[in-house]
Amino acid sequence: MDLLTELYAELDRVVLAPVADRFVGIFDLNGRFGLLFLFISYAVAYGLFRYRKHRGLTGAASFWQFIGGSRVNFHRSALLDYRYYFVRATLKIALVIPVVALVDPYILRSGDYILFFTNLWGARPELGQDLGLALLYGLGVFLVRDFKHYWVHRAFHSRWLWEFHKVHHSAPVMVPVTASRIHFVEKIVERIASLVCVGLYAGLFYYLCGGEISRYTLFGVTYLVFVFNALAANLRHSHVWLSFGPVVERVLNSPAQHQIHHSDAPRHFNKNFGTNLSIWDWMFGTLYTTTSTPEQINFGTGKRDAERYLTVYSLIVTPFVEIARKFKRTRVVEPPATGTEGSL
């Protein structure tokens, strides 16, 4: 009986509780998929539909068709995304958190950096808790995370990491939950990179302030994350074209820009790696701006890949198979040259 109790407790920890949390999460504001943010995004989409319908700029007969209809929202790829959204909750508990926990003890904390800077430059006077400092600290964390994500994202477009990120790009249609189609290896790297970057930033900021500063939040969410999630963020993974225009898009990443990033057209390759801000793309030469006129885009990485990534199993296992094949090809050694070359 004790064994059954232990098995049930483990099942509850790894499967039942995480999946239940995913369901409850739609009422939470800590993630993009909260009902509030979904409502805002689709309210914006409805406004676009009415505007374009009035001006004769869309052939969609209804709002349902405008957002893709059954062809998109019940596509086999979309149905896979809905399932994978819940599977990722169990992968997080079973794989992501344990792996990050193994690395975590070797990562310096903000306190370590405070001690380092104190020994290097001496102690700083404590500035106290101030709303302005809290807002500044929250802005800094947001910028550090966004900058970190830009470079991690670029790294996963490189040869050896691409197979893991291809899982995300393999979707031939996009729905908001496609944003969750991320391989667990990529999530591990993102988590570790966040710990390193935010730890360093927090340590330096706390040292300059003479002590820790609390973050200013809205409804338990860092205020800038709340603001950007409210800017129709769920339309980034959709078929609804929303451009901010070439000027604004040098700073803010629009849904249309991220759709360009998912395009299979060569002219769109390796463009718009930014998440919330596109200023990093502008600074490092990967920016592609859009206009209010929708571009013709096909999502995905080709028909062959669309047929290969059709199950939860394939999303998890295929990257490892492809990496092994690449590694095997690089290990092939050219046969030694024959003949008398170099002989006396």
> Which pLDDT belongs to residue 277?
96
In this structure, of 111-125, 134-148, 319-333, the range with the lowest mean pLDDT score is 319-333
Residue 151, domain member (yes or no): yes
Bridge partners of 221, per DSSP, are: 218
Better pLDDT: 21 or 343: 21
**203 within 8 A of 117, measured Cβ to Cβ:** yes
For 200-253, the pLDDT digits (tens) are: 999 999 999 988 887 776 665 677 888 888 888 999 999 999 999 999 999 999
> Which pLDDT belongs to residue 10?
66
> Which pLDDT belongs to residue 217?
66
Count how many domains the chain has.
1
The C-alpha atoms of residue 194 and residue 113 are separated, in whole angstroms, by: 15
pTM for the whole structure: 0.89
**197 within 8 A of 145, measured Cβ to Cβ:** yes
Residue 63, domain member (yes or no): yes
Q: Is the pLDDT reported for residue 335 higher than 60?
A: no
Question: How far, rounded to the nearest angstrom, does the alpha carbon of residue 282 sit from its chain's CA centroid?
Answer: 19
Residue 232 DSSP code? T
For 13-67, the pLDDT digits (tens) are: 766 677 778 777 777 777 788 888 999 999 999 999 999 999 999 999 999 999 9
Tokens of 174: 């996009």
- φ, ψ for residue 161 (rounded to 5)? -100, -15
Instruction: Identify the CA nearest to 233 among candidates 60, 40, 3.
Output: 40
Q: What is the DSSP string of 151-219?
A: HHHHHTTSTTTHHHHHHHHT-SS--GGGGG---HHHHHHHHHHHHHHHHHHHHHHHHHHTS--PPPEET
> Which pLDDT belongs to residue 317?
96
Q: Is the pLDDT reported for residue 340 higher than 60?
A: no
Residue 335, domain member (yes or no): no
Residue 342, domain member (yes or no): no
**167 within 8 A of 183, measured Cβ to Cβ:** yes
Residue 304, domain member (yes or no): yes
Residue 344, domain member (yes or no): no
How would residue 329 be classed by pLDDT, with cut points 50, 70 and 90? confident
- Tell me how far CA of residue 262 lies from CA of 121, 154, 285, 318, in angstroms: 47, 14, 18, 20
Residue 7, domain member (yes or no): yes
Range of the domain at 101: 2-327
